Structure 1
Amino acid sequence: MAERLDAIFAFALELEQLKGVLRRNKPIGLDRRENTAEHSWQIAMLALSLAAESALPVDIDRVLKMLLVHDIPEIDAGDVMVYDSAQRQAAEALELAGAERIFGLLPDDTGKALFALWHDFTHGVDNDARFARAIDRVMPMLQNLNNRGQSWREHGIRVSQVIAMNEAKVAPVLPGVWARLRAGLDEAVARGDLQP
C-alpha cells in the first residue's frame, strides 16, 4: 500500500511542472501567459458546460478525464503552437515519450488507464475524443476573440489558418458553437484583430 501511494504521490508532484509550461495565449485582462494546468482546468469546465450542445453522444466523465490528461506530456515536450505544423510534427515523439515516462510513474493499472485516455484523445478515434478535441480548439478561439486576437496577432495568423485548423474539428461535433465562433472570426477581421 505504501509503495502504491508513494507512486501516486510522485505522479502528483510531477504534475507541478505543468504549472510552469506556458502557452501562447494570455488570460483575458492579464499580462502573462496562461499555463497548461490552467488550460486543462478551463477546458474541462467548458466541456462540462457544452456537453448538451454536442451533435455526438458522449460520455462526459470520460471526456473530462481525457481533457485532464491530454496535455500532461507537455511537461517533457513543452507547448507547441498549433499553427506550426513542423513543430507539431516534431513534438509527437517527445509527447509519446513524455506520456510513457509520466504515466509510468503511477502504479501499472492506473498508469495504463491514463495513458489509454491520452492515446485516445491524441488519435481522436471515438466520439468522446472528437468532442474533447473540439473543446480543446474552442477555448483558444474564445480567448483570442475576447482578447483582441492576442496570440493570432503576435504570430501573424490569418483567418484562413484559423478556419483550416479548427472547422473540421469543431463544426461536426458542435455545429452551433462553430457557427457562433465563425461569425466571431468575421468580426475579428473587421476589427483588425485577425488578418484577412
Structure 2
Amino acid sequence: MSDSPLARLARQIEFIAECDRLKEIFRQTVNTQSRRAENDAEHSWHLCLCVIVLAEHANVRTLDVLRVLKMIIVHDLVEIDAGDTFAYDVAAMAHQHEREAIAADRIFGLLPPDQAVEFRALWDEFEAKTTPEAKFATAVDRFQPMLLNCRSQGAAWNRHGITHDRVVARNRHIADGCDPLWQYAEKMLQDIVDAGHLAKAPQA
C-alpha cells in the first residue's frame, strides 16, 4: 500500500533534513581563498557548476546532463554515514565501497520507495562508471579537487606527501569522460610542478 500524500511528503522532508548533515563532512581539499577544508555540500555544488559549464566538452555529444547532475547531487550523500575517504589513502579506499553501500541503504531508504530505488540506481550507476553520464560525472569529480589543489599551491597534496605520479595515476580516468579536460589537467599539473608546489616521485 502506498503512502498517503502527507506521509510521502513527511518522508521526503525527513530525507532533506538528514542531508543537511552533508555540510558537516569535511574533505582534505581546501578552499582556494580561506584555505579551510571544503565540505561535501560545497563540493557537490561546485561539481554541479562544472557539469553545467563543461558539458559541451564531454566525449559523448548526446549526454543527458540532467542525469549527470542527479548523480553528482546523490553520490556523496553516503558520506553522511561513511565519512570522506581521502583518495590517496590506500587502506581506507580498499573498503570504501562496502562502507558507502551500507550508508546508501540507510540514507536513500528514508525516501518513499520509488525515489529510494531511483536514487540508489543513480548511486550505483556512478559507482559502476560505465555509462557516458557516469564517466563524465567521474571526470568532473576527479578534476574539481585537482583544480582546488592547483589553485592552493598543492595544499592537500603537500600535507600528505602526494607526488605528481600518484596524482596522474588517480586522475587519468578523467579522459574516459572528457578527454579535453584531461589534456587541460595535465598542463595544469605540469605548471604546478614547474612552480615547485607538487613534487615529482623520487628517482629509483
For residues 162 and 171 of structure 2, what CA distance do their matches in structure 1 show? Answer: 13
What displacement does 1:92 show?
Answer: 1.7
**1:107 aligns with one of 91, 106, 112:** 112
**1:174 aligns with one of 174, 178, 181:** 178
Deviation string for 1:102-121 (max 9, x for gaps)?
00000000111011001100
**1:140 aligns with one of 124, 145, 151:** 145
Which residue of structure 2 aligns with residue 193 of structure 1?
197
What displacement does 1:59 show?
Answer: 0.5
Residue identity matched to 1:153: N
For residues 133 and 152 of structure 1, what CA distance do their matches in structure 2 show? Answer: 20
Q: How does 1:115-154 map to 2 (within 5 A)?
A: 115-154=120-159
Residue 120 (structure 2) pairs with residue 86 (structure 1): no
Which residue of structure 1 aligns with residue 58 of structure 2?
54
What displacement does 1:139 show?
Answer: 0.3
* Structure 2: gaps of 5 or more residues: none
Residue 18 (structure 2) pairs with residue 17 (structure 1): no
What displacement does 1:26 show?
Answer: 1.1
Q: What secondary structure, in the 3-state scheme, does the structure 1 residue paired with 2:87 have?
A: coil
Which residue of structure 2 aligns with residue 32 of structure 1?
36
For residues 51 and 141 of structure 2, what CA distance do their matches in structure 1 show? Answer: 9
What displacement does 1:39 show?
Answer: 0.3
Higher Rg of the two aligned structures: 2
User: How many residues are matched?
Assistant: 195
What displacement does 1:100 show?
Answer: 0.5
Residue identity matched to 1:101: R
Which residue of structure 2 aligns with residue 7 of structure 1?
11
For residues 187 and 162 of structure 2, what CA distance do their matches in structure 1 show? Answer: 17
* Structure 1: gaps of 5 or more residues: none
Q: What secondary structure, in the 3-state scheme, does the structure 2 residue paired with 1:24 have?
A: strand
Indicate the percent of aligned positions where both proteins have the same amino acid.
37
Deviation string for 1:71-98 (max 9, x for gaps)?
0000000000111222012222110010
